[in-house]
Structure 1
Amino acid sequence: MASPNNSLTNSDKANMKKWRVFLVPLFARSHLTPLADFAGLLLANHPDIELTMVVTPDNTKFANGSALHPVQILTYPCPPISPQSAEPSVIDKAFHMARQGVEQLLQQHKPDAVIADVMFPWITAIAADLKIPCILFSVLSTFSMLVLDCFQKMRVRPALLDHVTVLGLPGPEIRMPVLELPSFVLEDNSVEKVHKSGLDAFGIVVNTCRGIELEYCDEFEKTQARRAYFVGPVTVSYPMYQRSIIERGGEVEGESENSCLRWLDTKNERSVVLVSFGSLCAFKSAQLHELAMGLEESRQNFLWVVKDADQSGEWIPEGWEERIADRGFVVRGWAPQLAILAHAAIGAFVMQCGWNSIQEATAAGVPMLTWPLAYEQFINEKLVVDVIGCAARLWEGGKRSTRETEKELVPRT
C-alpha cells in the first residue's frame, strides 16, 4: 500500500484556519516597539498565524509605523499618556480602562492565544476565565525583575533604611540607596501581583539574552515563571531589521529622519556623543537649559535627541544654536536610534538606562554613560556598571533619586 502523502498544497495552506494571536502592549512606546518587533519574529517563523495588536487610540499610528509586517489593529478607550500627563491619577485611570477594554475585546473576538505585557498582571485571570492560553511579554531585564521581586519581599521602608542589599542572587553583591528604588516597590504590592501573574501564565517571553544576563536568566527561569523564553534583543534580531533600522516609528517632525545620519557622515569615527533619555521622562525647562550649556562647554561633538514633550524652545540659551552649529545636532521628536548607534561616528551614549537602549547600545558596541531618572533604571545601571562593566556612571557620588526634585538641576562633570 502506498504511503500517505502528508504534504500540503498551496491551496490547502490557503484554506487552513489561521491561529489568531492577540498582542497587548503597555501604552508606553518603549513597551509597544519591542512587542511589535517580537511580532515580526513570530511571523517570520510562523506565517500561518494571524496577529492583532490591541492598543490605545493614541498609539494606533505608532503601532502601524512600528510593525513592518502584516498585523491587524484593535483599540480600546484610554486617555493619552505623556510625560506631562503621567500623574498617578491619570495612570490609574489608564490601567483601569485598559483592563475593561482588553477584557471586552477578548470576550468579543475569542483569540486562540494572547501575549500581553507583564505590567498587565490582571490579564492572566481574564484569559483563564475565557480559556485562552496566555503568555506574558517583558521588556524589563531579568536582573531588574529579580531585584524588584527581592525588594518587594523584603518590605523595604525608606524611613528605616538608607541602603538595602539584594539577597539571594548570583553574581556580585548588589547594594542600592533606597532613594533609587522605584516608588511602586515602596508604596504598593504591584511587583507581587506581577510575580504571581508570571507564575500563573503559560510562560514569560523576555526581551533579553543569556549572552548579557546568563546567570540572571538561569535564576529567573527557576523562580519567576513556569516557562521562560529569552528572545532578545528583538530590535536587532528579527528579519526586517535592516529595513526597520531607518523606517520604524515615522519621521522627525519638520525634517527627514536621515538628516541626522547625513550630519554624522561629516564627523570622524567615534567622535560624537549621543545624548538621549528615552520617551517616558520629561525634563524641566531649567534642566534642559543647564544641559544645553553643559554640552556646549564640553567642546565635544554631540547629537542630542529632544522629545516632543521638551520642544517648547524656552530652554534654549540665547545664541546657543548658532554657537554649537558646527559640532552639535539637535533632533526634535523621534530619532532613528538604531541607525544612529550603528553609525561609525558614535563614540559614546549618554542615556537613562532604559533596557531597550541598553541592549541596542550593547549590540552596536557603543560604551554607555549612565544617567538613570526613574522606574527600574537605577537597577539597570547596577547591572551595566557594577556587574557587566560596559558602562560608566555619571555624577559619581552625587545624591540621586527616582523622585523628582529641582534642588540640583544638572550635574557638572
Structure 2
Amino acid sequence: MATTKGAHILVIPHTASGHIIPILDLTRHLLLRGMTISITLIPQHLPLLQPLLSAHPSSLHPLFLSPPKPTSISSKFPILNSFLASDDHLDQIVPWFRSHPSPPVAMISDFVLTWTHRLSQLLLMPRIIFSPMGSCGFSVFCTIWRDSPENVTGDENLTVGFKKIPHFPIYPWWQISRLYREYRRGDPDWDFFRSELLESLVSCWGLVINTFRELEGAYLDYLRKEMGFKRLWAVGPLLPEINSVDHLGQMGGPSSMPIHDVLTWLDKWQDSSVVYVCFGTHAVLTRKQKDALAIALEISGVRFIWCIRDQGAADGDLMVDEFKDRVGERGLVIKVWAPQAAILKHPAVGAFITHCGWNSTIEGINAGVRMIAWPIEFDQFINAKLLVEQLGVAVRACNGRDNVPDPNDLAQKLVQSLEEKGNGVKGGTSQRDLHELIKMLNEFGGC
C-alpha cells in the first residue's frame, strides 16, 4: 500500500508485446509506492491496463494516442514507424502537458522511441529510457550501432566480435539483429535513423533496465563505464502477476483452453516432470521445424504443454489434431496463448523450450526451470549464448528461422533436462535500485 504522495511521471511504452508487458509491471511498482502515472497507449491495449486501472483508479491516467502517420523513412523501412513517429504524437502530448494543472515532472520512455528525445526537449523534462532487453542484449545493441561493423563480403557466416563487452561475445552475421543488417552505409535514411537513435541514447537522463546485478552485473558495469549510462537502475525481474494472467492473455489473443483447466492438468503430475514449449508472441516455426519438434516430443515420452500461436492454415490444424491423438493424455496443446507465468511457476514444470526472448528468459530463470534454447531472431541469439555458455542454465536445441533440429537429439535433451535441476538466479539488489529510482523521481517533484 502506498503511504505517501509521490511525483507525477509520464510513461511512454512501445506497443510491441515484449516491450509493453514489462513496462506495465514497472508502472505497477511505481503506483504501489504512491506515484501518479500518466501512460500513453493505443485503445486496443486498454485491456492490458485494466488491472492497474482497477487497483489505482485515482493515480493512473491513460492518455490515448492515435497511430503515427508514416514518415518518408518509415515508409521505406516500416519497422521504424513507431520508433521515429511523426509530429502526430508531439502534437497530442505537448498541448495536453501544457494545459495540465499538475503536469508530469519526468518521463520514462521505451529506448526505441527516438521521438521522445524531441518531446523531452520541448517540455524541458528529464527523460529516462527503459530497456525491456537484458543488459547483455542492450550492450550489444548499443555497441553495434555506435561502432557500425560492416559485412563487405556478403557472407552471412562472417563473425562479428565485441572485444570490449564482457566475455568477448562473437556472433555470425546472420544472428545480428535484422534491423541492423538492413542498414546500408551511405543510405541517407539509415544514416538519419542511426544518428537519431544514438542521439536519443546518449541524451537520456538515465536508464532503467529489466535485469538484476546477480544475473548480469558485468554488463551493467559495461553500460555504465563504457557506454556512458551513469544513472542506471536494474529493477528486474519485471514479471506479469500470476493473478492478472487473464488480462495479459489478451495481448496474444484468446486461449483455446481456460487457465483453470491448464493448471488443473498440471496438478495431476509430479514435480519437475513436464516440459513447457513456447516461442513467444511473434516467432513462427516452419512446418519442418514443427514436425521435428512434434516427433521429438512424441518419441521422448515426456509430459508436455505446447503453446502453438501460428495456427490458421488447414494443414496446420490437421497436424495438431493428429499429433494430439498420438500423444494422448501426456500432452497438452494450447492454441494462440498460454498463461506462461503461471505455468512456469507450477511445481510440475521442470523444463522450458524457449525462443529466448528476454521476457521468457527472465521468467524461466525466475522459475528455476531448465531451459532448452531455440532462438529465432533479434536479441534471442544473444540471450541464448548468455544462458548456455555463461549462466549454464540451458542447452541448445536449434538456431534460426530455417534450421531444423534432429528429432532424436532433441528428444534426448528433453529427457535429460527433466532429470537435471534448473538453477534459479535470484536478485537481491533490484529492490534497492527501485527504491533509488523512486527517490530520484520524487526529488524532481519536490516530494
Go from structure 1 to structure 2 and tell me whether the alpha carbon gap of 1:300 and 1:358 turns closer, same or farther (over 3 Å shift): same
Provide the TM-score with structure 2 as the length reference. Answer: 0.76
CA offsets, 1:179-235, max 9 Å, x none?
111122233365664443222111111011001001111111222424111100121
Q: SS at the partner of 2:14? A: coil
Identity %: 27
Deviates more, 1:157-166 or 1:222-231: 157-166
How many Å separate the matches in 1 of 2:76 and 2:46?
23
Asked if 1:54 is matched to 2:57, the reply is: no
CA offsets, 1:89-110, max 9 Å, x none?
54344445x4444322321221
Asked if 1:107 is matched to 2:111, the reply is: no
Counterpart of 1:163, as a letter, is: T
Q: Tell me which of 378, 382, 386 is aligned to 1:383.
A: 386
Match in the other structure for 2:138: 145
Gaps in structure 1 of 5+ consecutive residues:
1-9, 80-86
Asked if 1:155 is matched to 2:156, the reply is: no
Give the number of the structure whose residues are more often helix, by fraction.
2
Higher relative contact order (CA 8 A, sep 6+): 2
How many Å separate the matches in 1 of 2:387 and 2:130?
22
Go from structure 1 to structure 2 and tell me whether the alpha carbon gap of 1:313 and 1:100 turns closer, same or farther (over 3 Å shift): farther
How many Å separate the matches in 1 of 2:392 and 2:201?
30
CA contact (8 A) 2:344 2:363 kept: yes
Asked if 1:181 is matched to 2:176, the reply is: yes
Match in the other structure for 1:78: 67
Gaps in structure 2 of 5+ consecutive residues:
69-74, 98-102, 184-189, 410-447
Match in the other structure for 2:277: 275
Q: Tell me which of 14, 33, 49 is aligned to 1:26.
A: 14
Asked if 1:299 is matched to 2:288, the reply is: no
Q: CA deviation at 1:125?
A: 2.2
Q: Tell me which of 99, 106, 116 is aligned to 1:123.
A: 116
What count of residue pairs does the alignment treat as equivalent?
A: 376
How many Å separate the matches in 2 of 1:52 and 1:169?
36
How many Å separate the matches in 1 of 2:87 and 2:249?
28
Q: CA deviation at 1:269?
A: 1.4
CA offsets, 1:350-409, max 9 Å, x none?
0011111111111111111100001111011111111222111113xxxx44xx54xx55
Q: Tell me which of 16, 27, 46 is aligned to 1:39.
A: 27
Deviates more, 1:312-321 or 1:342-351: 312-321
Counterpart of 1:275, as a letter, is: V
Q: CA deviation at 1:290?
A: 4.2
Q: SS at the partner of 2:395? A: strand
Q: CA deviation at 1:341?
A: 0.8
Q: SS at the partner of 2:165? A: coil
Deviates more, 1:155-164 or 1:110-119: 155-164
How many Å separate the matches in 2 of 1:64 and 1:253?
19
Provide the TM-score with structure 1 as the length reference. Answer: 0.82
Question: For residues 287-366 of structure 1, what are the structure 2 equivalents within 5 Å?
Answer: 287-307=289-309, 309-312=310-313, 314-315=315-316, 316-317=318-319, 319-366=322-369
